[in-house]
Structure formats: structure tokens, C-alpha cells
Amino acid sequence: MKKDMDKQRKIRAVTGFALLVIAAVILFILSLASGSSRITADTVFGVLTGRITDQSAHRIIMDIRMPRALSALILGGGLSVSGFLLQSFFRNPIAGPFVLGISSGAKLTVALIMITSLRYGFAMNSWMMIGAAFAGALLCMMTVLLFSGKVRNMAQLVISGVMIGYICSALTDLAVTFADDANIVNLHNWSKGSFSGADWQDIRVMSVMIFAAFILTFLLSKPIGAYQLGEAYAENMGVNIRSFRVFLILLSSILSATVTAFAGPVSFVGIAVPHLMKGMFGTSKPVILIPAAFLGGGVFCMGCDLIARMLFAPQELSVSTVTAVFGAPVVIWIMLHRAKERSMS
């Protein structure tokens, strides 16, 4: 009977990953095929296989749609893993980079550096954006940590995070108000969250950052699993708590900072996707959940981006609008599920 359970779990994991990969491939191709100019599936395959190289379709697919789909995949994955890290770290099911104000902090510093660069006329590059976002993310993370030491209650922690988020957003709005007219539109689009506008150089930079952080996170699977029982038990199992905590803070900050630098703040992915994956895989084991959260985040964001582009085409929605529509119900579901569980025990 015990063996059966193990086998069942294995089958469930393999099926889960297979489904995610299939969904990712389908959504990726759909992203390439859909948009304001009509491109047939046949043309898409033609471009991908190198059969078609000279038409405008080639340019649209390779220079606009593919970078956009890739950035949704990579950044969505990063966002979701960072959410999983924060949930493990705070032992709080609704922790996430957006809820805790970390995304907003990154947004503020990125907006500030953007405005300064435009005013003083120096060129921005991806690394500067990431650096600024990281500084903002870390600053907010530290503030939240300061509060978390004082508040034991998970609702209070979230409230303090949301408040930090509001403060950062208000400051961002203030900065935008005083920026030159021409910049506002640009900044405004980005500050609502969007996967558009990435070029291949951006894709290279974000891949390096996100994949490096992802691999390091994956290598921490074992101590993260121990940490799920709480700090004291983890310590007794042989986890060096001090350095583990530092690692976790840095990794989740790097992940959410990179995402924010390229896509602006994207809401609810960090909370919703890890929970959806826990439900799908029936476990919270980090070895399974970290790659699952990454793939799931990518699929979720590609899907949401597709909807954002297509629903009212040619008018585009901000991706956060769509992620909120699908993500917020998940948070409510988590609450109800927890309440039910509590009443059962």
C-alpha cells in the first residue's frame, strides 16, 4: 500500500510536468500566431523552421512576438518562484512580492532612475534597471522584515506589506507627475505591468538573472523543505539558519527585482501560481514545487498576456489586470480552504 502511494505521487508529478510543458508549448505558439496583423500557423512554423526569412511576418514574429512570449515565460516563472520563496520564508500562504510591497519598491527605484536618466540624458541599460530594482526590492524586504520581527500575526504582516506598497506607489506617482511629458506615457505603461517592449538583449539579461537565481533556489530545496516545519525544527535538522535566511532574502529579491525591472509590477502571480501548483501536484515539497512553480508561472503569464492582447484587440489591457482577475479568486480560495481545514481539526 505504501509503495502504491509513492507510485501514485510519482505518476502525478510526471503527468503534472508533462501537462505544464505541453501547455507552455501551445501557448508559446499561440502567442506567436496571434496579434494585430494576421499570421497563419503555417507561416509561424515556416518562420520557426527557417523556411520563411524575408517577409515582414518574420520580423514581427522574431523581433516582437517571440521576445514578448519569452519574457512572459521567463519573468512569469521568476515571479512565481519568488512568491514561493516568500511564502516559505514568512510561513505565510498569501505572502508574495506584490502583496509585501517588494514589487512596488522595485518599481519606485526603477522609475526614479528612469526619470533621472531622461533628465540628465545618460543611456539606461538593462543592468542598471536591474540594479535599481534590486536596491528597491531589498529596501522594502528589509522594512517588511523589520515589521515581521514585531508582528507575529500573518494578517498584520500582509497589511504592513500592502501599506509599504501603497507608500512606494504614491512616491512613484509623485515622481511621474514631475517628470517631462514625453516620458510619462512610457513610464505609465510600464508601471502598470506589461511584457511588451523587450528586445533580444533584454531577453539575454533576464535569462541569465532568472535562471541563475532559479538554479540557486533549486539547490536550496532541501533546507527550504526543512524550514517548512519552522525555524527551530530546521535548525535542529542541521540547517544553518542565519546564512539560509540571507540566501532566501537575496534570491527572492533578485527574482522580483528582475521581473519588475523588465515588466513592471505584475500582481497575484507570486501568490496564486505556487498554490495552484501545490494543488495540482498535491504536495509542497520544494524539489517538485520549485520547478513546477517556474513552469506554472510561465504558463500563467503567457496565457494572461495572450488574453491582455487579444480580448479587446487592438486595444491592449495591462497584464496585471488579467493576472488579478485569475489570481485574486485563488487567494480567496486559499482563505476558504484554510478556514475549512481549521474547522476540521
Partner 1 sequence: MINKDQKNKASSLHTDSLGAGYGKKVIVDGITISISAGEICTLIGPNGAGKSTVLKTIAGQLPAASGKVFLCGDELAGLKEKDVARRLSVMLTGRLTTDRMTCFDVAATGRYPYTGTFGILGDHDREVVHEALKLTGADHLCDTDFNRISDGQRQSVMLARAIAQEPEIMLLDEPTSFLDTGHKLHLLTLLRRLAKERNIAVVQSLHELDLAQKFSDSVVCIHNGKAERYGTPEEIFSGDYINTLYEIKDGRYNTYYGAAEPDGIKGEPEVFVIGGGGAGIPVYRRLYREGIPFAAGVLHENDVEYPVASALASVVISEKAFEPISDEAVNRALAIMEKCKDVICTTENFGTMNAGNLKLRDKGL
- The site for partner 1 (CB under 8 A) is made up of 2, 5, 93, 219, 221-222, 225-226, 228-230, 232-233, 235-240, 278, 282-285, 287, 341, 344-345
CB of 186 or CB of 240, closer to partner 1: 240
| Residue placing its CB nearer to partner 1 in the complex, 76 or 225 | 225
- 303 near 34, Cβ under 8 Å? no
Torsional sign, CA 81, 134, 129, 117: positive
Give the phi and the psi of residue 99 in degrees, each rounded to 5: -60, -40
If the CB atoms of residues 57 and 295 are measured against partner 1, the closer one turns out to be 295
State how far the Cα of 325 lies from the Cα of 85, in Å rounded to an integer.
23
* CB closer to partner 1, 25 vs 229: 229
Rounded to an integer, what is the distance from CA 276 to the centroid of its chain?
14
Least Cβ distance, residue 158 to partner 1 (angstroms) = 16
| Interatomic CA distance for residues 70 and 159, integer angstroms | 33
Q: Are 126 and 187 within 8 A, CB to CB?
A: no
Closer residue to partner 1, CB minimum distance, 16 or 105 = 16
Give the type of residue at 164.
I
Beta strands in the chain (DSSP E): none
Nearest to 82, CA basis, from 258, 246, 279, 207 = 258
Q: Which of 297, 265, 327, 334 is nearest to 80 (CA)?
A: 297
Shortest distance, position 235 Cβ to partner 1, whole Å: 5
Nearer to partner 1, 22 or 219 (CB): 219
